Each structure stands twice: as C-alpha cells, then as structure tokens.
Amino acid sequence: VEASIPEPQRAAWKNFAPKPFTSSEEFEKDAIRHIETTLARSMYNCDEGAAYAGTALAFRDRLVIDWNKTQQNQTFKDPKRLYYLSLEFLMGRALDNAMLNVGQKDTATKGLSDMGFRMEDIIQQEHDAALGNGGLGRLAACFLDSMASLNYPAWGYGLRYRYGIFKQEIIDGYQVEVPDYWLDFNPWEFPRHDITVDIHFYGHVNRYQDDTGKTVCQWEGGEIVTACAFDVPIPGYDTSTTNNLRLWGSKAASGEFDFQKFNSGEYESSVADQQRAETISAVLYPNDNLERGKELRLKQQYFWCAASLFDIVRRFKKTKRSWSDFPNQVAIQLNDTHPTLAIPELLRILIDLEGLEWDEAWSIVHKTFGYTNHTVLPEALEKWSVPLMQHLLPRHLQIIYDINFQFLQYVERNFPKEREMLGRVSIIEESQPKMVRMAYLALIGSHKVNGVAELHSDLIKTTIFKDFVKIYGPDKFANVTNGITPRRWLHQANPRLSELIASKLGGYDYLKDLTLLHKLESFVDDKAFRKEWAEIKYANKVRLAKHIKETTGHSVNPSALFDIQVKRIHEYKRQQLNIFGVIHRYLAIKSMDAEARKQLAPRVSIFGGKAAPGYWMAKTVIHLINKVGDVINNDKDVGDLLKVIFIEDYNVSKAEIICPASDISEHISTAGTEASGTSNMKFVLNGGLIIGTCDGANIEITREIGENNIFLFGNLSEDVEDLRHGHVYGTYQLDEGLASVFDEIQKGTFGDANAFSALVNGIVEHGDYYLVSDDFNSYCKTQDLIDESYKNQDEWITKCITSVARMGFFSSDRCIDEYAEMIWNIEPIQPSKTTDGL
Ligand code: GL4
C-alpha cells in the first residue's frame, strides 16, 4: 500500500492533516470556523445548540483522522477481525465520551468558557442515540468502547433506525409514548453513499442442473430494497484506535423499474414504493425480553444480516485468500438470536453464489459464528412461522430445512435409542403453523454458545439447551459474565469520585485496568478520604434532587436514604414488589408514634423505566407507582419520612446522573429470570449498596465484594419451580403483610381500585408466577435491615468503599478479553505511530 502512494502526495497529507489541539485557542478557532461556515451562523446567532455543534464538529475532525488511520492500519495488517451483529446499540451521548477518550476535554472546557458557555450545558444539548431497549443494547455499546480501548480490530453492525426507543411522558400518572426522531442534527454519523447493498425479499427458488450436472438454486423474482451504510466512529480510551460502527439505512432500489413508473405517470405510486422501502429501518421495536413475530421485524433482521454479510464477504474477497481461510480472518458474534439469519445467509452466499459444496460451506459457517444467549424467558425466545419465512425468504427456509436434516441425522446416528429427542431438538417445531426455533438454529450454526452470568450460563445448560449439552458435550457452552465500561460509568458519570480515586491510586491507570481499584482498600480508614467520599455522594444526590425538582416539581431531601430502581418495567423485574413494599412502609409509618418516627431514616423511593407500549401489566405498575406517589408525597403527616418519585423517560444520559446518587438500588427479579443485569454493576461501582435476589450477576457481585456488603433476600432459583407448582396445585397462602397492602389498595386509598385489580389478582388468584408473595416478607425484613444499617454511617461508608475496591472484575474490558481469547481468537492491533497510518 505504502509504495503505491507517490512521495509528494504523502508529504502533503503529513503536512496538512489536522493534529490534536495544542491550546484552547486552537479549539476555539476550529469551533468558531464550524459555527460560521458549516452551520452558516454568526456570533450573534450562536446559542448553546450552535456551540454544541461547533464543539462536536471540532472534535469530530480530530476523531476522523484517528479513525481513518485505524482503518488504514487494519486494512494493511489484515488481521482476523470481529464483527459484532446487534439489532441494538444504546450509545447515549457521544461528545463527552469523545472528549474524555481523546483526552482533550479540559482544553475544550477552557475554550468554551472563553466563548461564554459552560461545558455542562453544552454537553446536555446532545440528543441521546437511543437505538436500544435496555441492558442488551447498552451491553453492545459498552463492548464497542472496550474493543476500541483494547485495540481489537472489531466492527459493530446494526440498523440506522430513524426512530429510536420512544420518549416517555407521564400524564396523569400514565405512560404516554412520543416518537423519538433523533436524526435532526447528528454529527457522529457519516453517510457512505457509495457503499450500498441490494437486498432481496419474497420471490421463489428456481432449482436446476447446470452444464456439469450439478444442482443449482437460484432465488428469483420478488423485490429489492437498497441498504445504505452510515458509519459512526468509536474512539478508544487513551489510544488512537478508533473503530467503526456501521449502521444500515434502507431506501428504495433505484432500478429501471422506477423510471418506467415515473415515465408512465405513476409518480405517486413510485413515491409510495420509496416510503415502503424506508419503513424497514424506520423504527426500533420497543420490546425488551419479548418477541412478537411481526413480519416487518423479520424483514429488518434479514435486511441487516444480508447487508452486513455482503460487506464482510466483500472485504474478505479483496484479500484474495481461499475460502477455507474465512474463519481465520472473520469472527461473527450474534448478539442474541436476532441476527440468526446470518447463518443461512452465509451458507447461501457460499453455496449459491460462490459454488462451494455443502460440507465445505458448513464447516466455514460453523467456525465463524458465536452466539450469546441473553434470556431464558420463554416469551423472549424467537420463533418465526414457517409460512412467513417461506413467503419472505424462500431460499433461506430451504437452507434451514437442509441444516435441520443434517443435524437430525447426526442426532439419530449418535442417539439411536432416544427417538423422542428428535422432536424436541428439531429446528422446526411441529405446531400449527410450524415454527422455526431461532435459538436452536443459532446454537447449531455456531461453534460456541455463551450465557451472560454464571447462574444464567448454568441455567441454559439445564433448561432450554439441555438436550444440546448431551448432543455436543459441555465444551460447546461457555460463560462470559457481563461488564460495563468504567470510562462512561465511573469517569464520565462521576468525575469527582473518579478524581478522588485517581488521587489515591496515583493516576487514572485504573480506568484501563479496573482491578487496580483493589488498592483503595488500604485507604478505607483514611479519615480525609472517607470525608471526601461522603461529600461526593452527597453532592451527587444534590444533583439528582435538582433534576427531580426540575422535572417533577417535587423537593426531596438529599440527606434522606435514596432508594433507586431504574430499568425496563417488567413483571419479572418486580417493580410491583418494590411499590407494594413502599405501601407497606407507608402504613407502618402511619401507625408509628412520634418516638418511633424519630428513629426512622427518611427515604426517597425513586423509580424510572419504560414499559413496552403494548404491555398492559407493566403500564399498570407505572400507574400504581404514580398514584402511590400522589398520596404519600402530599401526606403532611408523613413529611420527609417517605417520598415516592417516578423519573420520566429513563435513558442513558439520565442513568449517568442517577447511578452516582444511590444509597441503595434494587435488583430484585424472581430468582432465575434476570440473565445478568448490568445496572447492578453501575450502582456498586459508584459507591451505592444494593438489595437484590440471588439472581444473575448479583451472585458474582456478592462473591467479589463479600456478603456483608450486599443485602440479599428471597427464594433461590432452584426452588422457584416447586413454589410455582405449589401455587397452582397446593393451598395458596397470601403473605399477611402483602394482604394488608392489598386491603389498602382495595379501599381506594390510591384511586379507583379497579385500575389495579389485574395486578393484584395476578398474585392472589392467578398463581403469582413471579413469587411476589413468597418473597414479600423477606424483602420487607431486609429493607428494615437497611434502615438499621444506614443509621451507622461509619460502617455504611466502609461497606461502600470496600465494595468499589472489589468491583474490578466487572469491567467490560475483562469481558472483551475473555470473548477474544475463548470465542473469537483475535489479537489486539497496536495503533500505528506514523501520520499516514502505515
Ligand atoms: C438482557 C437481560 O434481560 C439482562 O439481564 C442482561 O444483563 C442483558 C445483557 O446481557 O440482556 N436480555 C434481554 S432480551 N434484554 C436484556 O437486557
């Protein structure tokens, strides 16, 4: 590559390529130039929005240089790359992250202040990139940050939704959804009008023999939609490595067909075609842990898989290697089953387009893919109806049947005495209509399957994939416990705590190796350190209280115990257990004498999270929380002892304010239902304690930080099945405390009781599937323990500091190293030092 660029041209690039800012004046010069020329606005017209744009564009210029260099360097070295296929990337804001990773935030802060702006205000101008629902999407974003920070050659592939997750408004206590059109001004994406892929839907398969007598399949007819690439730079922390996230947008294919329509006067219908094509990437499906089997969703999945694979194969083919080298150059990770169609698609490319034989193609495919399972909830396991698949993707359905045929033959040969197993493990479920079980297809087509926390990885082996452990042996299954990026979730969200830690550890190296936090333990008795620690927590609570005041109008006391549960609203996450507990506490306070009240630590119960728009029970829980808040917050007799707050529109940028401000946060899913959870890690890393069940990563957090530093309660996952069975077939005994809570609801204390009858009856009459009643007593007692514990602030702070010191394991850097070593077999590429990237 180097030799092909003439010397004078290289010199020009070396001379004139933008360099890092050396002063705040240089930053200002660039920002103002962008405001004047790129935005065509003058000084008199420069509001905070324009200052944000100028700042973002000035940083973007620097980022792009590193990005180009990284890509050039990686193309030149041509290592094995990882491609992370995810339908969700919940990125949040980019500017602060870019400034911190590139390391010039202070320069820009000074420059902005010279221009009359405050950095905090400018950062808040940015719209969150909310292309995800919750933990699964945010995990993908943390992974991108770690891959770049560790210099791995890795790309993300996703969809460029025009509408991300909806904005939530609370009106009269009800959730109302408002569309999130976020692309008005997005300086972080680069449309690549020259990188397009035509994607085929519908039609039929033509099977014939070619000249040599070989059977060939040709997919014909149907319609074409074009995928257009939009690239987003992903800067690593303290490295110039800047990776790429490629998002596909859909548009109508511009073929002769359209021109004919134009010419024959069918202008309107040709515009309608255009709009139909654009709907494919228009909107993110707002369900977390739930699949609804809509045709447009399947179209999204194929559109994105086919475009990404075409791109990956095109890049591989440029290197002129033989096909058998493909798995040595390419690793593809499937983030849940959403991208499973990539498996039959790669087979189709290799067999139908490249002419490989089945066995060779299969061996390549199988070595290339890895599959991460993120849930065992039955309603979240993807199944697509065979007739729909036949209609939309006729060739892929054939390939899926071929995979299944080979697989079932293998099972039959190896387990001749277990014929009943065949029906259980078949990719095709023999229901009416037949269904394609995507998790089985993903598992069969991958060389490794992993869960996301130890308990979850064990559970998939004993429940949904039990038969497959027998068929393939245990080595096909692995665990990679989730993690979070400490850059965003400590350094960016909690700058003062980050600085305090750095002052004790002698710098910020811990942001690159989070296990270094263990050195904090030797400062646990350091008086000045503890004092500052407490001051920072208080300041973070003041910041959240200010946000609550501005958005809800309620004043909360920052000295009260802040008890926070923020996450998607879902029955399995049991926000209902929390709010019933709040009512229980309210009733207890009402019956207390003045002396008892004096003994009680004031509390603020804070909730936040979105319900899927069609999930009525989850919406009822939101409604109940708000109604209970209305009553308690206005009860003069209770005053500051208890407040209930629902924070509207929980998202990544709000999480950055909320996570540093907790004393206690709640991670209280029915044991065995939360695969991992990741906000549990965020809260502990920010010096908050947690109340939780023995579920997901709570178990490993307990192991790391010590059981004295966490408040665990409730039944264990191994007992859940028996308890449920007992509810249905035994005599059901409602917990007494919970019964008193239900009586209060029934009395109409929180408004029309009928509004909440489905919620109550789900527990009292319909089997209490999530074991709210079984865990209620244990939950309340543990909350009492928290009250006691919080009174001793000295011990409390010791617990917090000790916990933070022991959280090193939960960095997403550790996860990515584990994936790289165990599943992807990729190595880091050191960034090039030269200016031309070679
Ligand atoms: C989830 C799990 O519910 C959550 O526990 C886990 O932390 C996350 C990332 O692995 O994946 N699975 C689905 S589906 N949505 C999630 O957030």
138 catalytic residue (yes or no)? no
Contact between residue 505 and residue 521 where contact means Cβ atoms under 8 Å apart: no
Residues 6+ apart with CB under 8 A from 417: none
Distance 828 CA to ligand 1 centre (A): 27
670 catalytic residue (yes or no)? no
- Which pLDDT score is estimated for 836? 56
- Which pLDDT score is estimated for 16? 76
Asked if residue 505 belongs to a domain, the reply is no
Give mean pLDDT, residues 638-665.
Answer: 98
Q: What percent of the chain has pLDDT over 90?
A: 92
Asked if residue 737 belongs to a domain, the reply is yes
Task: For residues 116 and 231, state if they share a domain.
Answer: no
Task: For residues 29 and 83, state if they share a domain.
Answer: no
636 catalytic residue (yes or no)? no
Q: Determine the 3-state secondary structure of 68 from DSSP.
A: helix
Beta strands in 292-340 (DSSP E): 330-335
Task: For residues 154 and 277, state if they share a domain.
Answer: yes
Other residues' Cβ atoms within 10 Å of the Cβ of residue 220: 12
- Which pLDDT score is estimated for 255? 62
Task: For residues 115 and 226, state if they share a domain.
Answer: no
Alpha carbon dihedral 124, 128, 133, 138, in 10-degree steps, equals -80
- How confident is the model over 331-372, as pLDDT tens digits? 999 999 999 999 999 999 999 999 999 999 999 999 999 999
Distance 159 CA to ligand 1 centre (A): 19
**Mutation choice for ligand 1 from 676, 700, 701, 816, CB with most ligand atoms inside 8 A:** 676
Asked if residue 710 belongs to a domain, the reply is yes
Q: What is the mean pLDDT of the chain?
A: 96
Q: Evaluate if residue 264 carries a pLDDT over 80.
A: no
Q: Evaluate if residue 1 carries a pLDDT over 70.
A: no
Confidence of residue 17 (pLDDT cuts 50, 70, 90): confident
Distance 245 CA to ligand 1 centre (A): 21
Give mean pLDDT, residues 782-795.
Answer: 98
Of 418, 451, 481, the last residue of a domain is 481
Task: For residues 58 and 185, state if they share a domain.
Answer: no
What gap in Å lies between CA 542 and CA 559, rounded to an integer? 9
Contact between residue 616 and residue 758 where contact means Cβ atoms under 8 Å apart: yes
Residue 240, Ramachandran bin (φ over 0: left; ψ between -120 and 50: alpha; else beta): alpha
Q: Evaluate if residue 52 carries a pLDDT over 70.
A: yes
Structure tokens at 221: 């007819």
φ/ψ of 448, rounded to 5, equals -145, 145
Task: For residues 618 and 715, state if they share a domain.
Answer: yes
Task: For residues 120 and 175, state if they share a domain.
Answer: no
Asked if residue 145 belongs to a domain, the reply is yes
Q: Determine the 3-state secondary structure of 204 from DSSP.
A: strand
What gap in Å lies between CA 87 and CA 133, rounded to an integer? 10
Distance 136 CA to ligand 1 centre (A): 5
Task: For residues 469 and 323, state if they share a domain.
Answer: yes
Q: Which of 55, 678, 693, 782 is catalytic?
A: 678
Confidence of residue 256 (pLDDT cuts 50, 70, 90): very low
Q: Evaluate if residue 3 carries a pLDDT over 60.
A: no
Q: Please count the structural domains in the chain.
A: 3
Asked if residue 209 belongs to a domain, the reply is yes
**Mutation choice for ligand 1 from 289, 333, 455, 569, CB with most ligand atoms inside 8 A:** 289
**Mutation choice for ligand 1 from 138, 336, 452, CB with most ligand atoms inside 8 A:** 452
Give the residues surrounding ligand 1 with Cβ less than 6 Å away.
Answer: 134-136, 139, 288-289, 374-375, 380, 452, 482, 674-678, 696
Contact between residue 165 and residue 254 where contact means Cβ atoms under 8 Å apart: no
- Which pLDDT score is estimated for 265? 74
ipTM exceeds 0.90, yes or no: yes
Range of the domain at 348: 78-93+128-481
Q: Evaluate if residue 739 carries a pLDDT over 70.
A: yes
Task: For residues 121 and 179, state if they share a domain.
Answer: no
CATH number, domain containing residue 345: 3.40.50.2000
- Three-point CA angle 726, 729, 735, nearest 5°: 45
Distance 630 CA to ligand 1 centre (A): 32
Asked if residue 817 belongs to a domain, the reply is no
- How confident is the model over 132-187, as pLDDT tens digits? 999 999 999 999 999 999 999 999 999 999 999 999 999 999 999 999 999 999 99
Of 481, 513, 540, the last residue of a domain is 481
Task: For residues 122 and 175, state if they share a domain.
Answer: no
Give mean pLDDT, residues 691-703.
Answer: 99
682 catalytic residue (yes or no)? yes
Q: Evaluate if residue 58 carries a pLDDT over 90.
A: yes
Asked if residue 372 belongs to a domain, the reply is yes
- Which pLDDT score is estimated for 13? 77
Q: Whose CA is nearest to atom 15 of ligand 1?
A: 136
Task: For residues 787 and 747, state if they share a domain.
Answer: yes
Structure tokens at 385: 């109806």
Task: For residues 465 and 427, state if they share a domain.
Answer: yes
Q: Is 518 exposed, middle or buried (0-12, 13-18, 19+ CB in 10 A)?
A: middle
Give mean pLDDT, residues 82-105.
Answer: 96
Asked if residue 833 belongs to a domain, the reply is no
